[in-house]
Structure 1
Amino acid sequence: MIRVVLHVQGGKRLISTGHPDEWVRLALRPDPETPVTLPVLMGNGEWGRPDGSQHCPNRPYTIRRWNPDLCEMLIDIVVHEGGVAASWAMGAKVGDIVGICNPEGRFEPPADTAWMLLMTDITGLPAVGRVLEELSKDQRAIVHVEIPSAADRQVIGSAGDVSITWHETHGRNEGRNGYTQLPQIAQAIESLPDGPGYIYIAGEARAASECRKYFRDRLGFDKTRIDAVGYWIEGQARV
């Protein structure tokens, strides 16, 4: 994982969603000779490029941390072969220009939440890291994170009552079906704490959906208190 620090020009206009898992899309140069440009909102209410500028490849990433005073944004990018943003991040240098969109977010525990269960693979680790850092001392979080290896573990500070279990099962390996074992990790959870809870799942889209179904159908957890977010789709690019 590579951490990129962006200075956002005009950052005073960026309005946070208030969701700690909020993400933006990073737009990159389509080629070394073409500058980054962004679409504009046209009179018909749609986004377009009336100036004929070239489309810029873009990918969604979590805002790991946002400092509005400095207009400084931290983005953690999982490095992998062939990734549009990952390839850029591996060679990023001071002075590189990227475009960003307005943020969106999903993480929103109900007001009466007594505990939360957070499940993610490495792609959702930046979101979970920010969630944990923003917990108050009276909040409880049970966390399961799937990573490729022990080297991918992170030290995350939190004022909350937090327990983290790291699962070094992410990636292709003999005896595994696919890149992620998130559904199997969920299915190993046989019971949930008492009281009103909230479950947040982030990772491969199909895997996140399977986890949601398990908690809803097998453990009888209220589906309205589950947010399952597909961060990526195995075999597809998030264009």
Structure 2
Amino acid sequence: MYHEDYFYAHVLSAGHLTPSMIRVRLQVEDHDRYKASDHADEWVRLAFSPGDGLPVTLPQRRDGRWGRFDGSPSCPNRPYTVRRWDGSTGEMTVDMVAHEGGVAASWATHAKAGDIIGICNPEGRYEPPADARWILLLTDITGLPAVGRILEEMSETVRAIVHVEVPASADEQVLSSDAAISLTWHYTHGRAPGREGPTQLHEVARSIDTLPAGPGYIYIAGEARAASAARKHFRDTLGFDKTRIDAVGYWIEGQARV
């Protein structure tokens, strides 16, 4: 169950993890109220200044309802994966894709220690069946933070087959897990001659023509249409049980991620 609540956080540090990924460490205020979702792919909404020189503000709770009863303007917000969370200290790590344009990417590019941001309680989707002996993780770079955390929290009793689409080899990350991992990087993210669109995640999915034996689970994260096409491949072409597939649209080509 989602517990609505809002928090201020300030930046502890920010900088490039890889050419296409910026890592931001946040200190969440009043973190004792923060309620983790228990999903390894959990995400929060980061709220940014509504305009030059205007402060970040949060909704208020009154008579059991949340709203902006003080008349403060709404702040633009975007969803981002909680890469790491320390409930004892209130420190949160968020990895953000670096790209041209967009309120969040622009903020991340210029973020510095002391900057104030707003966040809300998290929610998530990743929920493998208890009997899953193998898990297939298929993502573009936007879902890489979620996959990194999923692998770190995965049991050694599970086998993980991982396919990650990034712009270039320099965007690879070291991913650790107690599980046995088969990891393949695909350097097909972004527009280039001969490619249709900015992601080839659906083509990566179609290149997978067999699945392991036994009960499994498939988690797909990326551009919404590509994720849907990937899900269709596993469901219709390979005949995998649709109830054991979660496909999450992290972004939609040509639209702001809101």
Q: TM-score, normalised by structure 1?
A: 0.97
Give the secondary structure class of the aligned counterpart of 2:189.
Answer: coil
Q: Which has the higher strand share?
A: 2
Q: 2:10 is matched with which residue?
A: none
Match of 2:209 among 176, 179, 190: 190
Q: What are the superposed Cα offsets for residues 49-97 of structure 1, whole Å, 9 maximum, x if unpaired?
A: 1211011111000000001111100000001111211111111111100
Aligned to 2:248: 229
**Structure 1 counterpart of 2:171, from 152, 175, 195:** 152
What is residue 39 of structure 2 aligned with on the other side?
A: 19
**What residue is the counterpart of 2:27 in the other structure?**
7
| 2:68 matched residue in structure 1 | 49
Provide the rounded CA distance (Å) in 1 between the counterparts of 2:64 and 2:158: 45
Structure 1 residue 92 corresponds to structure 2 residue 106: no
**Structure 1: any 5+ residue segments left out of the alignment?**
none
The equivalent of 1:130 in structure 2 is 149
Question: After TM superposition, where is structure 1 displaced by more than 6 Å over at least 4 residues in a row?
Answer: none
Unpaired stretches in structure 2, ≥5 consecutive residues? 1-20
Q: 1:33 aligns with which of 43, 53, 68?
A: 53
User: Partners of 1:84 and 1:42 in 2: how far apart?
Assistant: 29
Match of 1:80, as an amino acid? H
> What SS does the aligned partner of 1:89 have?
helix
Give the whole-Å Cα distance in 2 for the aligned partners of 1:21 and 1:106: 7
Please state whether the residue corresponding to 2:92 is helix, strand or coil: strand
The aligned residue for residue 126 of structure 2 is: 107
Deviations 1:1-52 (A, max 9, x none): 100000000111111111010000000111232111122345585x431211
How many residues align? The count is 238
Q: How far apart, in 2, do the equivalents of 1:220 and 1:161 lie?
A: 25
